[in-house]
Chain A
Amino acid sequence: MPELIPTAFFFFAASLVLLAVPQGKARGALLLAVPLAAAWQVWSLPLGTFAQVEFFGFSLDLMRVDKLSRVFGLIFCLAAFLGNLYAWHVRDTVQQVAALLYAGSAIGAVFAGDLITLFFYWEGTAIASVFLIWARGTEGAYATGMRYLIIQIGSGVILLAGAILYHTETGSFAFEQMVLGSPATWLIFLSFGIKCAFPLLHNWLQDSYPAATVTGTVILSAFTTKLAVYALARGFAGTEILIYIGAVMTLFPIFFAEIENDLRRVLAYSLNNQLGFMVVGIGVGTEMALNGTASHAFAHILYKALLFMSVGAVLFRTGTSKASELGGLYRTMPLTTIFCLVGAASISAFPLFSGFVTKSLILDETAAEHYPVIWAVLVFASAGVLSHSGIKIPFFTFFAHDSGMRPKEAPTHMLLAMGLTAFLCVFIGVYPDPLYALLPYPVEFHPYTMSHVVGQLQLLCFALLAFGVLMRTGIHPPEIRAINLDTDWTYRRMAPSVIAIMAVGVSRIWTRWTRFGSSTITRMISGLYHSTGPEGRFAQTWPTGAMVLWIAILLGVTLILNFASHG
């Protein structure tokens, strides 16, 4: 009865089996087979709740399969497959196991029907994924991984606190639609918000993703944040504040992405911006908007993985992913260039590419529900996506000035992974119906109307033209070796220096206080000794009987108290 085994367990079992399989083709094949088997199971399961288990008197739902969880479960399996194919050359058991446990936890969380299960898998994704950062094996990666882990585990702890409060409030751990208002729901919301990289809670993302290994970043990019999007869609659909949070999310990262030099960090900012579109969709909360969020998450996982793969391939061959060092690589890496361009066109939502058929759902629904300002922000953010992911990534890596680097084309398995992902990006764009059929609600939407296509092409082509003008006039900011401050400054620079200043102050006060204390006590003791010690003045006049008298009085009082308390 394979349908009784929760999908996540496929991955956990495989991570044990893996240890017995020798490195090489057999292990690579296992790493590819597991996500396929999992996808097959998700695909063939009927809708419903399976695998209920008792846990300390609570009933846990390990497999809640409905249309919302199914579409996320499927894309997670697909992402795990593509990520493992891309990582075919990796001979590091830690990374292989981490990738399996990470994907398994994310899939487990998606199918979790209650908050306890969700919490376990939520922390599972945090713990498994950090090894993809630490696997780089450098001091910087270790420190970054620590920061990442603290924030991710923190999110889980907040979720647990929220879940417990939620249980005392409602008497249930069921993970269903919630109404924001009580401390419980706010805590759960905050926990989701951290993983979803809400504004000001976002910087773990840009801090950690560029620190992971070449293949680790590809795998990281798929799961954590989209799990948070799923959780928000499940728990807080139609929560209005999400519209504004989402709009800010689409907006601010595009400015940072524009001036960032590390291309993998540019992609992390761009990922943040794409999450914004999904969060707006959740906030609008209508059936079509939620369809938009689910489909955009699906398409986004693919094209974002594709972009990370292409930049990763460049890093793999040249040792750098900095825009200031790269350029002109199309000569020797033409296939990677084309795949990168497909990813760029998809994320920029050019017609016939995946982003177009999914993002229009969200944009259209925002307009239909009459949020003119939000709509204008989203359209602006769409042009912003073009600027960093559509132009900057491919242009400064593969074209622009010739860096003189002549790296070999990416290895075959990477090309295969990129080719497959690129194919899916185009396929979804050209023929969106199969994806639409997977969505939680029936889709009545035609992306390819004259209005949509011409409007979108105008937006993108005029923006490209603006780029051309800015390049020709030299106004476009050059790529330079530098970093930019973001909120990580508060805990990488400000907090340590505040703590250092405070430590000096506290230690000074402490020294003075203890010195004052010890001298006072010494003085007191010697004073007492002086007056009441054997040589003291009081001792001279006290008769020995005084002691006996006092003891008698004490006993008497005890007797009376005892008598009174029992009387």
Chain B
Amino acid sequence: MSQAGAETNVEAGLSGAAAINEPTVGDFLQLMKPRVMSLVVLTAMTGIVAAPGNIHPLLGAIAILCIAVGAGASGALNMWYDADIDAKMQRTAARPIPRGRVTADEALTFGVFLSFASVLMLGLLVNWLAGALLAFTIGFYIFVYTMWLKRRTPQNIVIGGAAGAFPPMVGWAAAGGGISIESVLMFLIIFVWTPPHFWALALYRSRDYERVGVPMLPVVAGPEETRRQILIYSVILVPLAVAPYFIGLGGLAYLVTSVILGAGFLYYAVRCRSITEGREGDTAAKQLFGFSILYLFALFGVLLAEHTVWRLLA
């Protein structure tokens, strides 16, 4: 959607006057936040392939499908609950509900159905530990993050980020690995990655959050403190992301990737900390945000590739 279109939606959202059109299949797919789903699929797949034991490929594919659908259901329920603020924020004004393509009730029904379907399918066809973890993930994202924390505390995405960190643990459990140090480490990497990732975004979108009263860290504590927190979390994240090599979860390729990209992450975090003013400050935050996505995709992509090769050679 064009900038002008998004602005029109912001205005329409402010006046609460979006017209409802007949939704297409694509509108429902958009409710599932496909970009978030792609990261969930990658991390869940890594959990499944890296786990000890041999899950049948069909059951592995079903597990990935269920986890992806569960993540999509969370996205739909999040859009249902946050429809009022989404309509007033530039970044989210083009979502299906604010645009008037899907009603809030349709999104709620869609999200609830997919939540139950994904959890039941994963439990019945793969195993119930994975099903229970997926149910917990969806519940945590909706009840703890979306409904409880998001509008109340600047720590919203620190605690709420756990929801996005669970998929590799669900995948690991689906493959029969239970809960182990390796899966917890994958969880921790995403958990610690989430605050600098979202705060970098919040830095250059802070006016959006301020307008709708969401207490993101830049709004409540200011950009200076946010930049400091980003650097602190980045300093914790980088060595944590190297740790899989030392417990045998990652190989040499992972070690090299995590060290090189870790240096890049720190570089962008330091830049974000030191360039604070004007357009350059926003650009530094945007660069960190963009690099953080590449960083996590690369870490889990290399981990997945390594374990796939090891399995093929075994």
A in complex with B? no
B interface residue numbers (CB < 8 A to A): none
